[in-house]
Amino acid sequence: MASAAAAGYRSAGALVAITLNHLGLAYRALGDAGRAKAFLKWALLINEAHYGRDHYYTARSLTIFCTAYGDLGDSVLMIQLLERALGIQEAHYGRGHHETAPTRPD
Please state the pTM of the whole predicted model: 0.78
Tell me how crowded residue 27 is: count the other CB atoms within 10 A of its CB: 19
Residue 46 or 102, more confident = 46
Do 54 and 69 form a contact (C-beta atoms < 8 A)?
no
39-91 residue pLDDT tens: 999 999 999 998 999 998 999 999 999 999 999 999 999 999 999 999 998 88
DSSP state of 62: H
Identify the band that residue 9 occupies on the pLDDT scale cut at 50, 70 and 90: very low
Q: Half-sphere exposure of 47 toward its Cβ, with a 13 Å CA cutoff?
A: 25
Spatial CA neighbour of 54 closest among 86, 79, 80, 77: 86
